[in-house]
Amino acid sequence: MKSTQAELDTIMESEVATLKGTQWGEMAVSINRFEPGADLSPLLAQVSTGSCPVPHWGYLIEGSWTVGYTDGSTETINAGEAYYMPAGHDRVFTETGCLMVEFSPAAENAAFMEEVAPLLAE
């Protein structure tokens, strides 16, 4: 299986982010672009768990991405780095903007996206 970014479904498009993706087997794949200053922390604070319950594996193509976890730890992922972001991230933001390719368990990701869809519509 393979897809170009143009062939992927648009999951979300706003002034601060464009998420495009599809499902391959039991994994969701997405190519995500976040504009400088994008901060998902307020959105994550509104979900039932108070953090993202989905683990993600990815590669940062451009920019940098800072992730905070419910245990208080924080890490910054930079362009050229592969990453694993376990469930429980409650602060996610970029000052520079970033572009990434990301893989997540499809069922968990779909359930989470269903919960956040009404929040994104606001």
What pLDDT, on a 0 to 100 scale, did the predictor assign at position 122? 66
- Distance CA(43)–CA(120), nearest Å, equals 8
Q: Let me know: does 52 contact 89? Beta carbons within 8 Å.
A: yes
Architecture (CATH level 2) of domain 8-117: Sandwich (2.60)
Residues 62 and 46: their CA atoms lie apart, in Å, by 28
How far does CA 55 lie from the centroid of its chain? 10
**pLDDT in 10s for each residue of the chain, 122 residues:** 899 999 999 988 888 999 999 999 999 999 999 999 999 999 999 999 999 999 999 999 999 999 999 999 999 999 999 999 999 999 999 999 999 999 999 999 999 999 988 887 76
Tell me what pLDDT residue 14 has: 86
Instruction: For the chain, give every domain's residue range.
Output: 8-117
One-character DSSP codes across the chain: ----GGGSEEEEE-SSEEEEEEEETTEEEEEEEE-TT-B-HHHHHHSTTSSB---EEEEEEEEEEEEEETTS-EEEEETT-EEEE-S-EEEEE-SS-EEEEEEEEHHHHHHHHHHHHHHHH-
Tokens of 1: 């299986």
Compute the CA torsion angle 36, 19, 26, 57 (nearest 10 deg): -10
